Each structure stands twice: as structure tokens, then as C-alpha cells.
Amino acid sequence: MIKWIKRIILGILSTVLILILLFVIIKPKSYYIINSMVGSQMQWFGYDKEGNEMIEKSIKKLKNFSASQYHSFSVQNTKNGNYNKAIEYLDKASKLEPEEVDGYYGWLLLYYYRDYEKALFHLNRYDSFTPDFDDYPQGDNILFTKALCHKGLGQYNKALDLFDNAIKSELKEHDESWIPHQVYFQKARTLHLLGQQKKAIEYYDKTIKLWDKSAESFYYKGLAQIEINDSLTGRKNLNIALDLVKKGYKTSDSYVALFDEVYQMEIEKTINEL
């Protein structure tokens, strides 16, 4: 009996010793890969300093992470606002495999960083890899994302051309009901910014036809109507927008503010100031 107890204790001690030797002293490649993955997971829970330290240590040791691994290290750093790290990793990923990374990178720079010029660089390069195919970075038609970049840069006519191309691209395979309502809404916003209220109202209506709960479309349509002295109808649409927002109907995202997103306080302020 004592002999067996000794054997079990020796067995446990040897296992612990081997594990210490392997993971504390030798540290094989797999240790650093696991270490970086744990670091990334810790960042998801908000421990970005500790997580980044683990990731950086692993990168220093291995130096040959793939583009998708660098991409993954970047994601949580954007969510936690560590912009230097997020961009450093995406630059590395994009350098390694631009054809895989540039779509996401451009989309991210557009929505999360509002860095329109840099976003355009990556989106254009991504688009050039497949000239006969319209890509969908993160689910958005690439022509739509490029149009948003030009709109952000104040290049409204160029943006309008691209919105039209995005609509044509969608209509190649499907009917109008398949066009994401944001495409029409953003075209309407651009026309509105150019001072073409009547044409903008036409596109706000197209958006509403696709989604009759689009609070943002009712809001901006109302503003456009007030601008062309159709105040009564305009006010009515502002009130519809307010009612929709109060009921939770509007386009939004969990992480980042969308372009021309509307808020209850904003609509109330506008109505009160009329």
C-alpha cells in the first residue's frame, strides 16, 4: 500500500516537474500561441493592459504570426480604444495579406475611426484584387463604403456616383426590395447636403418604402420639407420620427455611432427650436 502511495506521489511530482520544465523553462511554440490567445480573450473582458502584455511577449518570441492572428489581436484593441496597438497590428496584417485584410481594415477605418482617406486607400486596394466582383466587407457593399468615405470627405458628387453604382450593383441579382435601406438613406443625405431637398425627399421616401420604421429617414425628410417651406408636413414627420425613436425604432450599432444616426434628444431639441 505504502509502495503505491509513493508511486502516485512520485508520478504527480514528475508530471508537475515536466509541466514546469515545458511551460516555464522551455516554453515551446504552442505555449506562446496559447498565451497570445488567452491575452486576446482577456482583452474581451476588458483587461487590455494585461492582455496586450501577453500578446506582445508572444509576438516578440515567435515573430511569425499570421495575418489573421494580427487581425484578431487588433479587434479588441479597437473596442477598448487602444488605437496605437489596433492600428499597429492591422498594418502588420495588411502588409502580410492585403487581399484578406484590406476589406475589414477599410471598413473599420470608415466606421470606427472616421479616417476617410486611409479607409479609401484600403477599400480601393481591396476592390482592385477582384475587379469583376463587388465585395462586401463586413456585409456592406464596397461601393457603398467607398461612397461613405467620399461623403465624409465632402466630395458629394463622387459619393453620389458611388451610391448609384452600389444600387446598380445590388439590382444586378435582386429586385429593389433587397437594397439595404441605408444605401438609399445615405444617398438621400448626400443630396440633402448638396441642397437638393426635393430629390433628397424622393430618396428618403424610397428608404421608408423599404423600412417604414426608419426614424432617421422621417427626421431628415421632415427637416428637408421644413427647408422648402412645407413646414406642416415637415413637423408631422419630425413627430413620427420622435415616436419611432421612443419605441426603439432606428438604425444603430452596438459599438459605434452610425452616420447620421438620430437620437430622441436631438429630435426633441429640433422640434422645440422650431
Binding site for other proteins (CB under 8 A): 34, 37-38, 41-42, 44-47, 50, 79-84, 86-88, 112-115, 253-257, 261, 263-266
Q: Least separation, in Å, of the C-beta of 185 and other proteins?
A: 18
Nearer to other proteins, 91 or 202 (CB): 91
Q: Least separation, in Å, of the C-beta of 215 and other proteins?
A: 13
* In contact, 145 and 110? CB cutoff 8 Å: yes
Nearer to other proteins, 115 or 202 (CB): 115
Q: Least separation, in Å, of the C-beta of 3 and other proteins?
A: 32
Nearer to other proteins, 227 or 261 (CB): 261
Nearer to other proteins, 75 or 96 (CB): 75
Q: Least separation, in Å, of the C-beta of 47 and other proteins?
A: 6
Q: Least separation, in Å, of the C-beta of 87 and other proteins?
A: 4
Q: Least separation, in Å, of the C-beta of 48 and other proteins?
A: 9
Q: Least separation, in Å, of the C-beta of 34 and other proteins?
A: 7
Nearer to other proteins, 110 or 191 (CB): 110
Nearer to other proteins, 38 or 271 (CB): 38
Nearer to other proteins, 23 or 205 (CB): 23
Q: Least separation, in Å, of the C-beta of 35 and other proteins?
A: 10
SS3 of the chain: CHHHHHHHHHHHHHHHHHHHHHHHHHCCHHHHHHHHHHHHHHHHCCCHHHHHHHHHHHHHHHCCCCHHHHHHHHHHHHHCCCHHHHHHHHHHHHHHCHHHHHHHHHHHHHHCCCCHHHHHHHHHHHHHHCCCCCCCHHHCCHHHHHHHHHHHCCCHHHHHHHHHHHHHHHHHHCCHHHCCHHHHHHHHHHHHHCCCHHHHHHHHHHHHHHCCCCHHHHHHHHHHHHHCCCHHHHHHHHHHHHHHHHCCCCCCCCCCCCCCCCCHHHHHHHHHHC
* In contact, 66 and 43? CB cutoff 8 Å: no
* In contact, 36 and 69? CB cutoff 8 Å: yes
* In contact, 123 and 142? CB cutoff 8 Å: yes
Q: Which amino acid is at 254?
A: S
Nearer to other proteins, 159 or 262 (CB): 262
